[in-house]
Amino acid sequence: MTFSKPIIDIIKQRSSWRTYAGLLLEDDMKKKVTQILTFKDFESPFSNLAGKTRFELIGVPEFAPNERKKLGTYGLIKGAQEFIVGAIEKSDYYKENYGYLLEAIILAATDLNLGTCWLGGTFNKSLFSTKINCQKSEIVPAITPIGHTTETRRKKEKVIRAFVKADSRFPWSKIFFENTFSTALPREAIGRYEILMEMVRLAPSAGNKQPWRVLKEKGCDIFHFYVKSSKDSMQKVYNTFINIDIGIAICHFDLTAKEVGIEGKWEFLCPDINSPEELKYIISWIGQ
């Protein structure tokens, strides 16, 4: 995928927007977005294992008046006139693949100075699924509004962002490790990989729970990616989204590596690493 700005700048620019100007996209902008949705220029490390994935741009005017009241964003999204809705076949790694692809699309939309916001639980899945003719073998894991935003966020949106601490991220010592999960990865000692890890740290996640954990093998450029589930009964709802979240984080790592010229490959390994029970291994990246 070709961006007009460095992917690092786009990742830093990306922010979840819930307040829109109430305007449909202009024809030329709609063509650009539609082209992005074909994602012909990129694929995720999970594409060969996950089922077929497709995305469509759906306008609110396409819904009947009574349907518009049932979109299910519960007042969290205001003024949005268009949504990107995707469907993916149920399969191995379908959530990771979907997370990677939709985040790449969101970053491309950010590059066009359009607002977006990941929606995983606060939308009417049945209604949106019907609108894109979702088949029995398909599922709609998440969607995003897309459009021109207002100049400032409304009060309700500011409250939401403050509640989830949207502008905060975990420190390195909590999410990045070296050789064992009891040893923090020293930021100052990983050279050119520092920017890749920082872009992972900045990735969005459901409820800003940041469930990714990355372990680097000492003495070599091998990074193992894990997801952390929650045992807290109040937080278990987020376990539904952690595999999407790790797909988002891997998208940031992968696109940044490609842009800055760090070569490597993704592989599914069986690392002999003693990990906490709540961590699940996903995939590894091996530098070349």
**58 and 11 in a common domain:** yes
pLDDT in tens, 71-90: 877 678 999 999 999 999 99
Q: Which residues on adjacent β-strands are paired with residue 227?
A: 212, 280
**108 and 58 in a common domain:** yes
**202 and 132 in a common domain:** no
**187 and 124 in a common domain:** no
**Is residue 17 one of the residues assigned to a domain?**
yes
**132 and 247 in a common domain:** no
**149 and 53 in a common domain:** yes
**Is residue 1 one of the residues assigned to a domain?**
no
Q: Mean pLDDT in the chain?
A: 92
**Is residue 188 one of the residues assigned to a domain?**
yes
**Is residue 165 one of the residues assigned to a domain?**
no
**194 and 69 in a common domain:** no
Give me the number of domains the chain comprises: 2
SS3 (DSSP) at 168: coil
Task: Retrieve residue 194's tokens.
Answer: 């520092």
pLDDT in tens, 208-228: 999 999 999 999 999 999 999
SS3 (DSSP) at 48: coil
Answer whether residue 233 shows pLDDT above 70: no
**Is residue 240 one of the residues assigned to a domain?**
yes
**120 and 14 in a common domain:** yes
Answer whether residue 22 shows pLDDT above 80: yes
Answer whether residue 135 shows pLDDT above 90: yes
- The domain in which residue 241 lies consists of 172-287
**Is residue 281 one of the residues assigned to a domain?**
yes
**177 and 73 in a common domain:** no
Answer whether residue 196 shows pLDDT above 90: yes
Answer whether residue 166 shows pLDDT above 90: no
Structure confidence at residue 237 (pLDDT): 75
Kindly write down the DSSP assignment for every residue of the chain, as one continuous string.
---SS-HHHHHHH--B--BB-S-PPPHHHHHHHHHHTT-TT---TTTTTS--EEEEEEEGGGS-HHHHTTS--TTSSBS--EEEEEEEES-TTHHHHHHHHHHHHHHHHHHTT-EE--BSSSS-HHHHHHHTT--TTEE---EEEEEPBPSS--HHHHHHHHHTTTT----HHHHEEESEEEEEPPGGGSGGGHHHHHHHHT---GGG---EEEEEPTTS-EEEEEEE----TTTGGGGGTHHHHHHHHHHHHHHHHHHHT--EEEE---------TTEEEEEEEEE-
Residue carrying structure tokens 């993704």:
266
From 128, 159, 190, the end of a domain falls on 159
**Is residue 111 one of the residues assigned to a domain?**
yes
**98 and 239 in a common domain:** no
From 108, 130, 159, the end of a domain falls on 159
Structure confidence at residue 197 (pLDDT): 97
Structure confidence at residue 72 (pLDDT): 73
Backbone angles phi, psi at 104, to 5 degrees: -60, -40
**263 and 128 in a common domain:** no
C-alpha to C-alpha distance for 198 and 200, rounded to whole angstroms: 5
**198 and 83 in a common domain:** no
From 95, 128, 159, the end of a domain falls on 159
